[in-house]
Amino acid sequence: MRRTFHSGLDEISGALVEMSHQVGEMMDRATAALLDADVTGAERVISQDAAVDDLYRRTEERAYDLLARHQPVAGDLRTIVTSLNGVADLERMGDLAVHVAKITRLRYPRSAVPGELTGTMREMGRVASRIAAKTSQVLAGDDPDARVTLAREIAVDDDAMDALHRRLFVVLLDGSWPHGVEAAIDITLLGRFYERFADHAVSVAERVVYLVTGERPEAPKGRHGAHVEVT
């Protein structure tokens, strides 16, 4: 029974790593499609989400099944609970990549991103990619210190994402935005999607660190609640 239980835990842990790879790849592809106004690439991201949702569902079921059939001790229990929270965040990250792809599809054959913001959006995509890769490493790793270090790096990357997000608003609001309301809405939503993608990754990493070190990350507002002021 212990063997079954631990192989169940390993399966869940593997699913989390796999989901983090998939949503990272989805956001990479969504960014590329956005910048190239590539509707085929965007469609591919949208299709890819079904596999992530399916993995989410199966992993959640697996976790509930383990809870129902075994009486895991406290540490294992906390692992399962952390995993349940983690899959929900990762599923949401996949949705956010889909949201980016849908804006690309909606504006095709035009680009949703005006020339002067291409650089900023590309950089937001790069930061998202880095954050997703580090989140995978946090999930796959087994050295607590390395995981803590990675989680701190993710927090720094998240600050960089927030700074890029603010930069979008500076451009939108400098008084000479020539692209109209529709483009402003697209950029506002895109900025929000990348920022939330990063926030969910921070949340996954912080919970894993809490699990392995017992050290509680900072207040929920500090990270997850951050609203970039529209100044």
Residues near a copy of itself, by CB under 8 A: 49, 53, 56-57, 64, 67-69, 71, 73-74, 77-78, 80-81, 84-85, 88, 91-92, 95, 98-99, 102-103, 106, 169, 172-173, 177, 181-182, 184-186, 188-189, 192, 219-221, 224-225, 227, 229-231
CA gap 139, 204 in Å, rounded: 8
Nearest C-alpha neighbor of 23 from the set 85, 94, 92: 94
Nearer Cβ to a copy of itself (111/188): 188
Nearer Cβ to a copy of itself (146/173): 173
> What is the closest distance, in whole angstroms, from the C-beta atom of residue 28 to a copy of itself in the complex?
19
In 10 A of CB 95, how many CB atoms?
Answer: 18
Angstrom distances, CA of residue 84 to CA of 67, 77, 128, 189, 199 = 11, 11, 22, 28, 17
> What is the closest distance, in whole angstroms, from the C-beta atom of residue 221 to a copy of itself in the complex?
6
- 110: alpha, beta or left? (left if phi > 0; alpha if psi -120 to 50): beta
> What is the closest distance, in whole angstroms, from the C-beta atom of residue 106 to a copy of itself in the complex?
6
> What is the closest distance, in whole angstroms, from the C-beta atom of residue 127 to a copy of itself in the complex?
21
> What is the closest distance, in whole angstroms, from the C-beta atom of residue 218 to a copy of itself in the complex?
11
> What is the closest distance, in whole angstroms, from the C-beta atom of residue 50 to a copy of itself in the complex?
8
Nearer Cβ to a copy of itself (3/214): 214
CA gap 61, 229 in Å, rounded: 39
